[in-house]
Structure 1
Amino acid sequence: MAMAPSKLNTTLLIFITISFHFTSSAYPLSGDTITTTCTNVHHHNSSHSKCMCVQTHADCHPKGYINYLQFFYCTLSRFPQLGFLLLLLWLLILFYVLSNTASDYFCPAVESLSKILNLSPAIAGTTLLPLGNGSPDVFASIISFTASGDGGAIGLNSILGGAIFVSTVVVGVLSLLLCYHRKIVIVDKPNFIRDVVFLLFSLSNLLVIILIGKINFWASILFASTYIIYICLVSYMHFISKKKQRIPDDDHHQGPRLPLLVSSAHKLVSRRKSVTMLLLYVIALPLYLPRRLTIPLITQEKWSKPFAIISVVLAPVMLALILSTTKATMVTCSIIALVVGFALGTCTFLCTSSTMPPQKYLFIWYASGFLMSVIWTYIIAKELISLLESLGTIIGMKPSILGLTILAWGNSLGDLTSNVAMAMHDGPDGAQIAIAGCFAGPVFNIFVGLGFSFVIACWLDYPVSYMVPVNPYLCETVGFMICGLLWALVVLPKREMRLDRTLASGLLAIYFCFLFVKFARVVGLIDVSMSNPFKTL
């Protein structure tokens, strides 16, 4: 999910301004006590003692593969500004790799699977399209719920932050752009009401869970499986619509219209005539090559027999390394995986062509590409959550706030760019799909993303119920989002379902009020010590 440069610069500027303001002091943010891991580091004054604290305390050990706290407090203890900027740069790189993995590997595999399974557009559009757009949100949420500390809070806030961004900012920007270009788009009323009502229903269920403060295993399964009801309703409405129009549904061989993003690495290769482009490609190669060598791709434009052979050899080995829990099992599983990989590589060498992708056993190829893209998304999302927790510790800010803003923006800007492109260039049908995605996507993220996160968290704690992270301001976030949905639900029918400035201005005003309240509380403009109705939750 590529970030637009202007939006990215604005986000980075806001983040750096707030962060550096508070890293200049050794104290936590006003009115926002630190509840992150490794909080003891703020009790030390000298750089040496902070480094020793990070190295000796178990809470300071990394949840991912890199110890960011040791890098900041030990390796670059004399240059904290440089260390902070490097961590920010790595944050942007992780966002890019996460979104690029979804767009270049995950989405093509999902789209190809839909063709093989002959899914109708109605079913594919309510499952595979949101899965393609929301995969980074879903995996980041699942990883965060399995982490200790404030991980669950990051997951909740990132999903809700992304949902309110997409349902307000993206819809508002789409409406403004359509008005600016004098394009009249009439939103399909039944489908719009269905999506908004289901989104309100998902938020009300989530609000009940937040107020209760816990959820058990069977309740989490019920929450996640509610998405099946949504799929059934979409399919029924699609069937009735086609029956009334008496138009045969022969589009199911085309699969869903997934707004895929183009890999910048491949674009650089095709245009590398200048030294600058070649240099950029070399810089991007370490990010591109590991995934390309382990994720099988058999599309016509990306088919490469050497890469295919290497990927089927290395993919089992990578799975063994990721799934192994001890060193002993890691060695055994790696040897077995290597034997399996060489056998698969030999079959690929003997049975495939150098000029065209395979035409047989396509389901196995697509499923393997899907599985490996999921594994890579899991790895990157785990590292992203670990970095956000470390940044929260360094700047004295709750990771939940970072999840609500930085993580949510990074995962949702792709929806903004892809939906805007679809609405502006694909005509009325593209605009309909884009608007539907703005509400169907959050439904998917809440029921499936948070639902599976709850299921996994409850399974790990079974039979004890999973305790939802205490955050009195989650209800506030849900309230702002409900306001945006009610505004759209009231304004659009009165405006004859036309996307116009009235809808856009209200939605954008609601989101900026939401941001103002959040950042005002962070910087101490709002006294959080005042009585709060959810303080005891």
Structure 2
Amino acid sequence: MATSSSLFRSKKLSLFLNLSFLLLLTLYLKTNLFPSNLNSTLFHLSSNIRPPTTTISHHRLLSDITTNGCTGLQKYTDNKYKCFYVKTHIGCRPKGYIDYLQIFYCNFGQFPILGHFVLLLWLLVLFYLLGNTAANYFCSSLESLSKILKLSPTIAGVTLLSLGNGAPDVFASIVSFTRSSNGGLGLNSVLGGAFFVSSIVVGIISIVINSHRISVDKCSFIRDALFFLFSLFSLLLIVAIGKINLWGAICFTSIYLVYVCVVSAMHFFCGDKDNGVGHVGEAGIPLLGYIDDEKPVLKSGLEEQEQIANFLNLNPEICYYVAKIVQVLELPLYLPRRLTIPVVSEESWSKPYAVLSVTLAPLLLAALANTQRENVSLRSSLVTYFTAGLIGMVFGNLACVTTKKSSPPKRCLFPWLAGGFLMSVTWTYIIAEELVSLLVSLGHIIGVSPSVLGLTVLAWGNSLGDLIANIAMAINGGADGAQIAISGCYAGPMFNVLMGLGLSLVFSSFSEYPSSFEIPGDPSLYETLGFLMASVLWALVILPKKNMRLDKSLGYGLLIIYFCFLFLRLAWAFGLLNLHGSSFKV
């Protein structure tokens, strides 16, 4: 019954998000087919028709548009002025694919509550797509690649597992540096996620399993905590200096390679004494984080329908037709990814999908390449699409000839898995790009710095999976599960900091080479880094004193540190407190 209930809730969530996507798509098409009349707006502006709440002239508005960034949007109170502003000012143009500011002010200007609801709903859809793509495509490709490459559980745990868990943070950070021109959003989202996981998740785990009197391995914990502290201190130096060159960015990223070598050496020399991240995949706990005995049994569609029918006390025939309708409604979010990401797992194999995915994948890459370049000529764009189409046709014919309808290929799996990995990375990047663009637009709409949204909304959304998975592992996995959960709460954030921010700094500094890349000036980063280092130091001091036992003193201390930081940060963001001065703002 529990399985049926969980399956039914999962179907309901998927159906709700797909219906939400259809609703948003309908609204988007409607507002673009019948856009607001800009000429009418300009006529009112030029005729000096001003609302009672503003005395801004048309000339002053045009002057602000040509001299200021999009931050000047909040000076205007009338939606007509704001609509004109976002349509004509280059600083308000979206970095993603949808112009959220224009939709909000020009199409929902008279109904701001509806506009906020639509953007919030789209935010939930993007978070779902980001997590679902990582779980269903990205992680499965990583696990299969680790088997094909015959990686040891130690190396797989600190590389592929961390990459699978941290993919949303890593790509959001890279996008914010390379595409959104707002590196502060990427810095705050990664640091916010690292703070949340190493404080809230570790704190809740310690409180929940306090009565179990479980201890963690001392050497593994001290190793992870010290490397994490060193990574944060290195980032603090980079922020303090304010710039970094290409070689400095490479050295910062290389800290994680040193960490991988140390973990591997400890596992090789200590063997079973090291119960840390090196045992991910051992002791009955595989790479994806669930115990083999608890691994869900794959069921056919008919069995799932029977379970749901029994749970709802419905006639199986009625449930069959309902299930077919649900499958059709689920297509909008499922089909685009399924048609472009090659999947060769036994339970998801479909030859038509496989052939179509390798045929259409090059076209998606070509479309993404054209959107990443500025001022692309029509001829260059057509050549790119034509080349991608030819490559796709060749791959599609090869897939059609070399695969069977009944089962996935058994040989030459590496090209399939590499293609699945590449396309899942592509989709993760596209979704992260749109998510960052939406958060930047929301920052302009509500008058809050996008870095604050990155520190809270983006960080929390990307860390919810870690919260649920690590707590479940600590509760159900016994001492080994608690050890792996705690190790993951430090190794995962460290991967996001060193690889997510590190790769972002490498790409950004490479684009400025031989000059140095200027780090976004955000004084609040010092507070974030300071509180984050304090939480790690608290755990580093308390755990050895408690003989490495996870208890309430560790948990409550971490929660207090996090909520004190969050209160100060939000109070500063909403003008209640000036963190960099001595006065309060009321």
Q: Which amino acid aligns with 1:293?
A: L
Q: Is the 8 A contact 1:98 1:380 kept in 2?
A: yes
Per the alignment, residue 289 of structure 1 pairs with 335
Q: How does 1:441-452 map to 2 (within 5 A)?
A: 441-452=492-503
Per the alignment, residue 548 of structure 2 pairs with 497
Q: Does 1:312 align with 2:342?
A: no
Q: Deviations over 1:174-231 (max 9, x none)?
A: 112213xx42321011010000000000000000011111111110111111111101
Per the alignment, residue 431 of structure 2 pairs with 380
Q: How does 1:209-288 map to 2 (within 5 A)?
A: 209-242=238-271, 257-259=287-289, 270-271=304-305, 274=319, 281-288=327-334
Per the alignment, residue 71 of structure 1 pairs with 103
Q: Which amino acid aligns with 1:413?
A: L
Q: Secondary structure of 1:480's match?
A: helix
Q: How does 1:109-508 map to 2 (within 5 A)?
A: 109-149=141-181, 151-179=182-210, 182-242=211-271, 257-259=287-289, 270-271=304-305, 274=319, 281-324=327-370, 325=373, 326=376, 327-508=378-559
2:93 to 53, 61, 79: 61
Q: Is the 8 A contact 2:180 2:437 kept in 1?
A: no
Q: Is the 8 A contact 2:350 2:405 kept in 1?
A: yes
Q: Secondary structure of 1:206's match?
A: helix
Q: Deviations over 1:407-454 (max 9, x none)?
A: 000000110011112222223222211111000011111111100000
Q: Secondary structure of 2:409's match?
A: coil
Q: 1:401 to 1:298 in 2, by over 3 A?
A: same
Q: Which moved more, 1:216-225 or 1:424-433?
A: 424-433
CA distance in 2, matches of 1:317, 1:69: 29
Q: Is the 8 A contact 2:184 2:520 kept in 1?
A: yes
Q: Which amino acid aligns with 1:226?
A: I
Q: Is the 8 A contact 1:38 1:59 kept in 2?
A: yes
CA distance in 2, matches of 1:126, 1:226: 13
| Residue 269 of structure 1: how far off its partner (Å) | 10
Q: Secondary structure of 1:430's match?
A: helix
Q: Which amino acid aligns with 1:287?
A: L
CA distance in 1, matches of 2:214, 2:406: 44
Q: Deviations over 1:42-61 (max 9, x none)?
A: 23332222111111111111
Q: 1:502 to 1:211 in 2, by over 3 A?
A: same
CA distance in 1, matches of 2:258, 2:129: 33
| Residue 39 of structure 1: how far off its partner (Å) | 2.0
CA distance in 2, matches of 1:250, 1:440: 12
Task: Specify which structure has the bigger relative contact order, considering alpha-carbon pairs within 8 angstroms and separated by 6 or more residues.
Answer: 1
| Residue 259 of structure 1: how far off its partner (Å) | 3.5
Q: How does 1:22-37 map to 2 (within 5 A)?
A: none
CA distance in 1, matches of 2:478, 2:244: 44
Q: Deviations over 1:18-44 (max 9, x none)?
A: xxxxxxx99xxxxxxxxx951232233
Q: Is the 8 A contact 1:112 1:366 kept in 2?
A: yes
CA distance in 1, matches of 2:88, 2:139: 42
CA distance in 2, matches of 1:524, 1:85: 25
CA distance in 2, matches of 1:437, 1:250: 9
Q: Is the 8 A contact 1:111 1:255 kept in 2?
A: no
Q: Which amino acid aligns with 1:310?
A: L
CA distance in 1, matches of 2:569, 2:325: 41
Q: Which moved more, 1:66-75 or 1:139-148?
A: 139-148
Q: Is the 8 A contact 1:187 1:432 kept in 2?
A: yes
CA distance in 2, matches of 1:255, 1:348: 34
| Residue 277 of structure 1: how far off its partner (Å) | 6.0
Q: 1:161 to 1:269 in 2, by over 3 A?
A: farther
CA distance in 1, matches of 2:367, 2:515: 31
Aligned residues: 492
What TM-score, normalized by structure 1, do the two folds share? 0.86
CA distance in 1, matches of 2:367, 2:414: 25
Q: Deviations over 1:344-386 (max 9, x none)?
A: 2122122212221110111111100000000001100110110
Per the alignment, residue 107 of structure 1 pairs with 139
CA distance in 2, matches of 1:267, 1:138: 35
CA distance in 2, matches of 1:509, 1:282: 47
CA distance in 1, matches of 2:325, 2:453: 33
| Residue 258 of structure 1: how far off its partner (Å) | 2.1
Q: Deviations over 1:236-273 (max 9, x none)?
A: 0000112879xxx9979x996124899xxx99994475
What TM-score, normalized by structure 2, do the two folds share? 0.79
Q: Deviations over 1:112-144 (max 9, x none)?
A: 111111111111111111101000000000000
Q: Which amino acid aligns with 1:103?
A: A
Q: Percent identity?
A: 53
Larger radius of gyration between Structure 1 and Structure 2: 2
CA distance in 1, matches of 2:579, 2:207: 35
Q: Is the 8 A contact 1:138 1:448 kept in 2?
A: yes
CA distance in 2, matches of 1:462, 1:45: 43
Q: Secondary structure of 1:469's match?
A: coil
Q: Does 1:50 align with 2:82?
A: yes
CA distance in 1, matches of 2:273, 2:289: 29
CA distance in 1, matches of 2:327, 2:570: 38
Q: Which moved more, 1:367-376 or 1:323-332?
A: 323-332
2:130 to 98, 101, 114: 98
CA distance in 2, matches of 1:497, 1:250: 20
| Residue 99 of structure 1: how far off its partner (Å) | 0.9
Q: Which moved more, 1:490-499 or 1:370-379?
A: 490-499
Q: Is the 8 A contact 1:112 1:255 kept in 2?
A: no
Q: Secondary structure of 1:357's match?
A: coil
Q: Report the RMSD for the aligned CA atoms in angstroms.
A: 2.7
Q: Which moved more, 1:454-463 or 1:424-433?
A: 424-433
| Residue 322 of structure 1: how far off its partner (Å) | 1.1
